[in-house]
C-alpha cells in the first residue's frame, strides 16, 4: 500500500473484523478497558467538538472537489486539456460509532457511523504516533470515536478522512450483531431497539419517518388555524371511547383515577369555552390486547372544529392524507403490503348499514339480537353470548366488509347504538353522522358531527349504563358543559401510529413505535 493517502484504495474486504456475541466478548472488552485506563486514556469522554456530521463532511468535500476540477488560473482554454486545480485542504472534526476496521501493517482503514451515515477513516502510524497507533488495538467495533483530519478521495473514489488525531469517546462493552446478518430476530429488535437502530438502517428510516408524520400533522393543522392544546392524561372519569382503562390511585386526593382512553370530552369542553379550532397530539391508553394494529399505549391526534360537520372533516382528511403522502413518500401512490393505493384521489364513500345489509341479505337494524347472533354464526363470525348489540354490529361489519376494503374509503353513517357521542343523522334518526377512514382493511380513525344537545347526550349516556354496555359511564361535568352551549362541531381522531404504518409500508404497529409494549420474557 502506498504511503500517499491519495493513492490509498479504501477497498472493502470480504468481511469486517468479526463480531462475536458470546459472554466471553464482554470480558475481553473489559480487559481492554482496563488497559486503556492504565495507559492514561479516559474511555468515557465528556464531549467532542464536532465541526461536521459525516454526511455534511462528504457533501462539502464533494463541492470543493468539483471546484478543484476547474481550470487553474492562466491555464490554456483551448487546444489542450486543462490541468485540474488541486482540491483545497479541507479539515474536519467528526465523530461516530466505529463500524468497521481493517489493518494493513502501518496503516488502517475504518468506518464511523453517525445519525447521517458512514464515513471512512484512514489511519497511519507515522501520522498518529507510535503510542496512539498502538492503542488502536484496544478499540472494538461499536466504540465511539472522534477524529480530526483532512478530507481526500481514495483512488477507488471513496471520500475519506486522513486522520491526524483519533480519540476514544465511549468504550462499548457489548459487540454489535455481525454485519452481514444484522439484528434479524424480531423480538430482539423490539426489546433492544437501541441495537436495532444501530445495525438496521431500514428500522431507523421507518422510525424517523414516523416522527416526521407527527411533525407534518402538527404543521398541517397549525397552518389551517387549529390551536394545539394539552388535556389531562389522568382523569376521574374515562370517556370518549368504549375501551377498558388503566387504573391508578391519586394519593393526595384519595381518589381512583384513570389514564385517558381518549382526549375527546376535554377538547369539546374547550369548544364550549370559545376556542373554535383545537387539536391535541398525545398518548392515549387502553388496557386491552396486543396485535398487529393495537398497542395499549398509542399516539392519537384529535381535533374539534366549531361550525363544521362530518362532511367538512371528510374533506380535511382527504387533504391531510394527500399532503402526508407527498411529504413523506414524494408521491400520492404508495405501496402497502401487496397493494398500491392512491391518496391523491377522492376517497370512496361506503354506507355502513346499506353495505352490511347487502352482505347479510337483511336489514341489520331490524334484526333482534338472537337473529344477529345467527347471522354471525352463519358467516363464522365469533361472538360471545354477552356481546352487546353495538359490538356485534361492529364485528360483523369489520370481518365481513372492512377487512376487504383496499382503496381509501370513508365508512359512514353508523347505527346510532354504536356511537353515543355523535349527532343523529339529519336524514335518518336511526343513524349517526359518523365516518371511519379505512385503507387496506385498516381503520385509521373516527369522526363525527358532534352531539351538542345536552338532554340527548345525557339520555345516551344513561341508556348505555342501563343496557349494561361495557365501560359505559355518565360524565356529569361534560353534560353540564354542554348545557352552557356548544356550537355545531365536527370532530376527528386519527391514529398516528397507523398512519405511520401506512406511509412506511409497515405491517405491524410495533415497527413504527420506538419502544412497543411486549409480553414478558420467561426470564423476566
* pLDDT computed for residue 7 by the predictor: 52
Q: What is the percentage of the chain residues whose pLDDT exceeds 90?
A: 77
* pLDDT computed for residue 11 by the predictor: 47
Query: Are the C-beta atoms of 165 and 147 separated by less than 8 Å?
Result: yes
Cα–Cα separations (whole angstroms), residue 325 to 203, 354, 405: 19, 31, 19
CATH class of 5-181: mainly beta
310-329 helix and 496-504 helix, angle to the nearest 10 degrees: 40
Segment 206-219 mean pLDDT: 97
* pLDDT computed for residue 5 by the predictor: 55
User: Which of 15-19, 42-46, 88-92, 389-393 is the most confident on average?
Assistant: 42-46
* pLDDT computed for residue 67 by the predictor: 62
- Across 383-488, the runs of DSSP E, i.e. the strands, are 409-412, 434-439, 442-443, 445-449
Q: Which grid cell sits at 422? A: 355523535
* pLDDT computed for residue 384 by the predictor: 86
pLDDT tens across 216-270, in order?
999 999 999 999 999 999 999 999 888 899 999 999 999 999 999 999 999 999 9
**Predicted confidence (pLDDT) at residue 140 exceeds the cutoff of 50:** yes
- Nearest-angstrom CA–CA distance, 305 and 448: 11
pLDDT tens across 422-442, in order?
999 999 999 999 999 999 999
**Predicted confidence (pLDDT) at residue 313 exceeds the cutoff of 70:** yes
Give the CA diameter of the chain. Answer: 97
* pLDDT computed for residue 68 by the predictor: 52
* pLDDT computed for residue 77 by the predictor: 42
- Nearest-angstrom CA–CA distance, 152 and 383: 68
pLDDT tens across 440-456, in order?
999 999 999 999 999 99
Query: Chain-wide mean pLDDT for the chain?
Result: 90
**Predicted confidence (pLDDT) at residue 73 exceeds the cutoff of 80:** no
Give burial (CB, 10 Å; 0-12/13-18/19+) of 363. exposed
**Which band of pLDDT confidence, cut at 50, 70 and 90, is reported for residue 78?**
very low
- Nearest-angstrom CA–CA distance, 434 and 393: 15
**Which band of pLDDT confidence, cut at 50, 70 and 90, is reported for residue 189?**
confident
**Which band of pLDDT confidence, cut at 50, 70 and 90, is reported for residue 88?**
confident
**Predicted confidence (pLDDT) at residue 184 exceeds the cutoff of 70:** no
Q: Tell me which of 58 and 178 has the higher pLDDT.
A: 58
pLDDT tens across 263-307, in order?
999 999 999 999 999 999 999 999 998 999 999 999 999 999 999
Q: Which grid cell sits at 305? A: 372544529
Residues facing 423 on adjacent strands: none
DSSP code for 210:
H
Least confident of 145-154, 171-180, 344-353, 501-510: 171-180
DSSP code for 110:
E
* pLDDT computed for residue 118 by the predictor: 96
- Nearest-angstrom CA–CA distance, 169 and 187: 30
**Which band of pLDDT confidence, cut at 50, 70 and 90, is reported for residue 15?**
very low
* pLDDT computed for residue 85 by the predictor: 55
Segment 59-78 mean pLDDT: 61
* pLDDT computed for residue 371 by the predictor: 94
**Predicted confidence (pLDDT) at residue 331 exceeds the cutoff of 90:** yes
Q: Which CATH number fits domain 201-347+407-512: 3.40.50.970, 3.40.50.720, 3.30.10.20, 3.30.930.10?
A: 3.30.930.10
Q: Where are the domains of the chain?
A: 5-181, 201-347+407-512
Q: Which grid cell sits at 435? A: 365516518
DSSP code for 495:
E
The model carries a pTM of 0.88
Amino acid at each position: 500500500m502506498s504511503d500517499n493517502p491519495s493513492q490509498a484504495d479504501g477497498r472493502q474486504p470480504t468481511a469486517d473484523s468479526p463480531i462475536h456475541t458470546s459472554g466471553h466478548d464482554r470480558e475481553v472488552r473489559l480487559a481492554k478497558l482496563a488497559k486503556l485506563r492504565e495507559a492514561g486514556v479516559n474511555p468515557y469522554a465528556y464531549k467532542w467538538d464536532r465541526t461536521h456530521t459525516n454526511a455534511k463532511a462528504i457533501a462539502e468535500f464533494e463541492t470543493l472537489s468539483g471546484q478543484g476540477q476547474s481550470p487553474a488560473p492562466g491555464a490554456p482554454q483551448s487546444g489542450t486539456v486543462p490541468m485540474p486545480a488541486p482540491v483545497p485542504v479541507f479539515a474536519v472534526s467528526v465523530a461516530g460509532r466505529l463500524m468497521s476496521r481493517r489493518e494493513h501493517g502501518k496503516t488502517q482503514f475504518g468506518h464511523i457511523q453517525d445519525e447521517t451515515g458512514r464515513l471512512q477513516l484512514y489511519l497511519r502510524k507515522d501520522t498518529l504516533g507510535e503510542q496512539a497507533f498502538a492503542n488502536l488495538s484496544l478499540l472494538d467495533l461499536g466504540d465511539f470515536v472522534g477524529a480530526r483530519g483532512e478530507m481526500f478521495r481514495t483512488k477507488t473514489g471513496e471520500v475519506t478522512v486522513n486522520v491526524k488525531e483519533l480519540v476514544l469517546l465511549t468504550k462499548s462493552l457489548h459487540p454489535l450483531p455481525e454485519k452481514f446478518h444484522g439484528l434479524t430476530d424480531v423480538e430482539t429488535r423490539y426489546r433492544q431497539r437501541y441495537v436495532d437502530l444501530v445495525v438496521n438502517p431500514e428500522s431507523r428510516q421507518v422510525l424517523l419517518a414516523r416522527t416526521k408524520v407527527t411533525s407534518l400533522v402538527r404543521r398541517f393543522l397549525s397552518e389551517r388555524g387549529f390551536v394545539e392544546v394539552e388535556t389531562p392524561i389522568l382523569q376521574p372519569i374515562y370517556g370518549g371511547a368504549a375501551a377498558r382503562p388503566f387504573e391508578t390511585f391519586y394519593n393526595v386526593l384519595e381518589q381512583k383515577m384513570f389514564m385517558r382512553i381518549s382526549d375527546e370530552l376535554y377538547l369539546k369542553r374547550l369548544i364550549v369555552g370559545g376556542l373554535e379550532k383545537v387539536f391535541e397530539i398525545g398518548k392515549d391508553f387502553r388496557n386491552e390486547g396486543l396485535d398487529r394494529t393495537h398497542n395499549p399505549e398509542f399516539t392519537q391526534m384529535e381535533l374539534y372544529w366549531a361550525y363544521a360537520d362530518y362532511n367538512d372533516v371528510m374533506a380535511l382528511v382527504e387533504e391531510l392524507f394527500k399532503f402526508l403522502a407527498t411529504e413523506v413518500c414524494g408521491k400520492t401512490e404508495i405501496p402497502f403490503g401487496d397493494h398500491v393505493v392512491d391518496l391523491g384521489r377522492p376517497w370512496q364513500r361506503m354506507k355502513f348499514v346499506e353495505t352490511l345489509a347487502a352482505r347479510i341479505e337483511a336489514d341489520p337494524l331490524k334484526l333482534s339480537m338472537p337473529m344477529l347472533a345467527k347471522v354471525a354464526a352463519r358467516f363464522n363470525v365469533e361472538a360471545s353470548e354477552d356481546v352487546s348489540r353495538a359490538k356485534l354490529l361492529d364485528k360483523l361489519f369489520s370481518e365481513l366488509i372492512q377487512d376487504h376494503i383496499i382503496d381509501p374509503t370513508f365508512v359512514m353513517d353508523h347505527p346510532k347504538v354504536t356511537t353515543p357521542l355523535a349527532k343523529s343523522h339529519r336524514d335518518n334518526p336511526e343513524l349517526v353522522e359518523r365516518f371511519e377512514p379505512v385503507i387496506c382493511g385498516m381503520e385509521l380513525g373516527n369522526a363525527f358531527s358532534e352531539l351538542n344537545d345536552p338532554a340527548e347526550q345525557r339520555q345516551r349516556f344513561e341508556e348505555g349504563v342501563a343496557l349494561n354496555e361495557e365501560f359505559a359511564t355518565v360524565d356529569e361535568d361534560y353534560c353540564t358543559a354542554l348545557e352552557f352551549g356548544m356550537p355545531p362541531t365536527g370532530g376527528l381522531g386519527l391514529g398516528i401510529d397507523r398512519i405511520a404504518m401506512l406511509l412506511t409500508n409497515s405491517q405491524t404497529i410495533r415497527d413504527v413505535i420506538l419502544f412497543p409494549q411486549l409480553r414478558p420474557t420467561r426470564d423476566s
